[in-house]
Amino acid sequence: MDSGIELRHFRYVLAVAEEGTFTAAAARLGMTQPALSRAIRALEQVMGTALFERGHHGATLTEAGKTFRDDARAVDALARKALNRTGQRSNGPRHLRITARGCDVGTLETLVASYNSTRGDHAPARGAIVGLQTRVEEVHAGEADATLMRSPDDLSGLDSDVVRTDPRVALLPNAHPLATRRMIKRADLVDETFTLWSGHTPEQIAYWTATDLARHGWRPGPTVSDAAQFGACIRLGESVGFIAADLLPEMVLTGISVVPVADISVSELRIAWPRSATSRDIAHFVRHATSTAEDCPPLSRIT
């Protein structure tokens, strides 16, 4: 008797029973509340019995629901056992390979850790940090499932969502005339040399500032890919750098002044994944990222 009921439904009941509300259960399951509601309704329909008493402060099991929950637990456990016993070799829990570039390590770590610690029946799929200097090409090549990156990187062929936005600040040698200003404007910088953060191009500077600094004599300096080098170049080269504020805590700022730029675009931290990605796991991770990252440590937030 194929009633259309699948393992899924058993797990759904367990989640709702344990969470106490459909909404919370849905979140834990990595799905939306309406979808979950309907699935359980369908199950109840087939069984001809209500399993939950819906109140306005959540759902509680009916008598029938309680016995079903116990059965469901057994079914679920048994099914998992069956799958693991035979098959644990060759593919343990799959990993979502998360990479990053130009993102503070704190955010990344917190994000992955909170994802993994989610008591989630999703998370098939523990997140694993597999790189911090990832280039977009690696995502295309399938070496990573998702990557965190700062705005103007090449997103062609990728889908992406904004995880968080951080102010972009200017770094200046302490000796610089502007270093003591509490706030500067782009126009103040037209005569400067810039040290470019790894991966940044003159075009990106133009993009950020939404103006063509070069017209006014702007010229690029060296390009570095390391926070310490970045600081050193600025200090020694008497040049100016832009950086997203969240990266500041990871830098050595000796001899460097941080000055907010009033009219520069903010830096978007984006999570990107292959447009062809079919897996729902990635969608879950993205959702988690976008919905929780605001709570992640932006550390010294500059307003």
- With residue 292 as reference, give the H or E element that holds it: helix 280-292
Q: Compute the least distance from the CB of residue 188 to DNA, in Å.
A: 40
Which 243-302 residues touch DNA, going by CB under 7 A? 278, 280, 283
Q: What's the rounded Cα separation, in Å, for the pair 133 and 149?
A: 10
Interface residue with DNA among 3, 7, 18, 32 (CB under 7 A) is: 32
Tell me how far apart the alpha carbons of residues 244 and 74 are, in angstroms, rounded to a whole number: 50
Interface size with a second copy, residues (CB under 8 A):
39
Name the residue nearer to DNA (CB basis): 23 or 198: 23
Q: Which is nearer to DNA, 30 or 102 (CB)?
A: 30
- Largest distance between two CA atoms of the chain: 81
Closer to DNA by Cβ: residue 20 or 260: 20
191: exposed, middle or buried (Cβ count in 10 Å: 0-12, 13-18, 19+):
exposed
The entry of DNA, a second copy, none near residue 85 (CB within 5 to 8 angstroms by kind) is a second copy
Q: How far is the CB of 166 from a second copy (least distance, A)?
A: 34
For position 3 contacting DNA by CB under 7 A, the verdict is no
Q: Which of 2, 6, 30, 26 is nearest to 16 (CA)?
A: 26
- Among a second copy, DNA, none, what binds residue 58 when CB lies within 5 to 8 Å by partner kind? DNA
**Residue from 1, 48, 57, 217 binding DNA (CB under 7 A):** 57
Q: Three-state secondary structure along 237-273?
A: HCCEEEEEHHHHHHCCCCCEEEEEECCCCCEEEEEEE
Cα separation, 109 vs 119, in Å, equals: 17
Taking the least distance from each CB to DNA, the nearer of 28 and 176 is 28
**Residue 209 half-sphere exposure, CB side, CA atoms within 13 Å?**
26
Residue number, 63 or 295, with CB nearest to a second copy: 63
Question: Under 8 Å CB-to-CB from 27, ≥6 apart: which residues?
Answer: none
Shortest distance in whole angstroms from residue 65 CB to a second copy: 8
For residue 28, give every residue at least 6 positions away whose Cβ sits within 8 Å of its Cβ, in sequence order, or none. Answer: 15, 19, 118, 119, 120, 121, 122
177 binds, among DNA, a second copy, none (CB under 5 to 8 A by kind): none
> Is 219 among the residues that bind DNA (CB under 7 A)?
no
Stretch of 65-73, 141-149, 196-204, 214-222 lying at the interface with a second copy (CB under 8 A): 65-73
Q: Which listed residue (38, 80, 219, 275) binds a second copy by CB under 8 A?
A: 80
Residue from 99, 111, 100, 98 nearest 292 by CA: 111
Residues 36 to 55: which contact DNA by CB under 7 A? Answer: 37-42, 54
Could you tell me the strand order of the sheet in which 94-100 lies? Answer: 125-131, 94-100, 146-150, 267-274, 158-166
Q: How far is the CB of 122 from DNA (least distance, A)?
A: 9
The interface partner of residue 3, options being DNA, a second copy, none and the CB cut-off 5 to 8 Å by kind, is a second copy
